[in-house]
């Protein structure tokens, strides 16, 4: 373990800057190979990142209830719809005026 750490530290000390390595045509695998020279590495796996947002109408309705009973009651009395835009995916949801009043807890 100490030997591998020493070799890793030596490799990193002798590396040019990341910009220089990229200009020289090295890709991510090439840079990793240079860092791990003499140590070796496991098989590398590729994955493609993808974005997934879990927002949906039910979550939006739950979020709207956080406005509080008084504010929801006022919005309902004015007959206004509520527009909510997800901060993560920018999906736009509209809670129609008819549905705003139903968000008030009964009792």
User: What local confidence, expressed as pLDDT, does residue 1 receive?
Assistant: 74
d(CA 57, CA 55): 7
User: In CATH, what is the architecture of 57-103?
Assistant: Alpha-Beta Complex (3.90)
Low-confidence ranges of the chain (pLDDT < 70): 105-107
Cα 39 from chain centroid (whole Å): 33
Q: E strands along the chain, which residues? A: 82-85, 92-95
User: What local confidence, expressed as pLDDT, does residue 102 receive?
Assistant: 86
45-62 pLDDT, tens digit each: 889 989 899 999 999 999
User: What local confidence, expressed as pLDDT, does residue 106 receive?
Assistant: 66
Which contacts (CB < 8 Å, 24+ apart) does range 1-10 have? 4/39, 7/38, 7/39, 8/35, 8/36, 8/39
User: What local confidence, expressed as pLDDT, does residue 107 receive?
Assistant: 52
Decide if 93 contacts 60 (C-beta within 8 A).
Answer: yes
Q: pTM above 0.75?
A: no
User: What local confidence, expressed as pLDDT, does residue 4 receive?
Assistant: 85
- The DSSP output letter for 104 is S
Q: In the chain, where are the structural domains located?
A: 2-35, 57-103
Which burial class, exposed, middle or buried, applies to 95 when counting CB atoms under 10 A from its CB (0-12, 13-18, 19+)?
Answer: buried
């Amino acid at each position: 373990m100490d030997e591998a750490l020493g070799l890793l530290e030596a490799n990193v000390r002798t590396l040019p800057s990341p910009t220089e390595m990229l200009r020289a045509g090295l890709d991510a695998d090439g840079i990793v190979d240079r860092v791990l020279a003499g140590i070796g590495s496991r098989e590398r796996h590729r994955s493609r990142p993808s974005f997934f947002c879990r927002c949906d109408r039910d979550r939006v309705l739950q979020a709207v209830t956080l406005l509080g009973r008084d504010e929801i009651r006022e919005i309902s009395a004015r007959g206004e719809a509520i527009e909510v835009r997800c901060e993560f995916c920018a999906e736009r949801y509209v809670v129609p005026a008819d549905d705003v009043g139903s968000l008030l807890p009964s009792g």
